[in-house]
Structure 1
Amino acid sequence: MTPPSMMRGTIGAAILVLLLAVCWATPTVHGQREWTVGDDKGWTFGVSGWENGKRIQSGDVLVFKYDPKMHNVVQVEEGDYNACTVTGPSKTYTSGNDHIKLSGGGKAFFICSVPGHCEQGMKIAVTAE
């Protein structure tokens, strides 16, 4: 027969594991995860390609961290992304800590519109599932 003190320890451990599993799964269940663009480097030169291999979902939030005196974030159409230009109406972010929620599936394109920065790799094309 198992002593009561061992049973309490076993039950406590099982409850802890269950709570950790629920907490870990919560962002996935709600479909929202925050992605810091460029990871530790942030939104900077050469960030293009950061999005490759990531499973970004509709409802996830992209976090762009950068020096607002030096850069910005502009959501553009694919043609402007490819040409590193801003020709149509586009949403521009300038806080240096921009949180952009991806709504709906499909592609979203972001560039820095400061002259020369997009050409130096400050652009990403995200496909949200």
Structure 2
Amino acid sequence: MSLKMQLGLLMFGTIGSMLLESVSCKNVHVVGDQLGWNIPSRQNFFDDWAKKKTFVVGDQLVFQYHPGLNTVVKVNKEDYENCTTKNVIETYFNGNSSVTLEEAADYYFFSSVGKHCEAGVKLHVTVTNPLKSSQ
């Protein structure tokens, strides 16, 4: 095999592994796992669910719910704590909504349907930057 071909394969392999590494650190999190985005049996269900996960920039949250029966609103901390919609950042209502976590920050979501938020259909996640591998 020629030197040019060997170098080409080496570069291709290196670029490919870098792409795989950057893709592999991105996760899709189905909010609430099997429960989905529905009223839980305990009010702290979604808090406990989030505590078991690590969220990094580029991850996706998938909120699974039936359109017309639920919503997802992205809000600030104050609205989240009070279950109010004074400062809604984004609203999702079409079912199976996907949200990409685009920056390291705290994200706050809840259902704006009836008293769902007060019943525990609310989620706070803290997103961090992905760790850089040392090479």
- TM-score if structure 1 supplies the norm length? 0.75
Instruction: Compare CA radii of gyration and give the structure with the larger one.
Output: 1
| Partner residue, 1:34 | 28
TM-superposition CA deviations, 1:85-118 (whole Å, max 9, x none)? 1102421001111110001101000000112000
The one-letter code sitting in structure 1 at the alignment partner of 2:33 is D
Return the offset for 1:53: 2.2
Q: Percent identity?
A: 35
Q: Please, which runs of 5 or more residues in structure 2 have no aligned partner?
A: 1-16, 129-135
Return the offset for 1:71: 0.4
RMSD in angstroms over aligned alpha carbons?
1.7
Structure 1 segments of 4+ aligned residues over 3 angstroms from their partners: none
CA–CA separation in structure 1 for the residues paired with 2:125 and 2:53: 9
2:76–2:88 Cα contact (<8 Å) kept:
no
Return the offset for 1:37: 0.2
CA–CA separation in structure 2 for the residues paired with 1:39 and 1:88: 28
CA–CA separation in structure 2 for the residues paired with 1:53 and 1:36: 13
User: How many equivalent residue pairs?
Assistant: 105
Q: Please, which runs of 5 or more residues in structure 1 have no aligned partner?
A: 1-21
CA–CA separation in structure 1 for the residues paired with 2:88 and 2:35: 29
| Partner residue, 2:46 | 48
Alignment map for 1:89-128 (pairs within 5 Å): 89-128=88-127
- TM-score if structure 2 supplies the norm length? 0.72
User: Aligned to 1:48, what secondary structure does the other structure show?
Assistant: helix
The one-letter code sitting in structure 2 at the alignment partner of 1:93 is Y
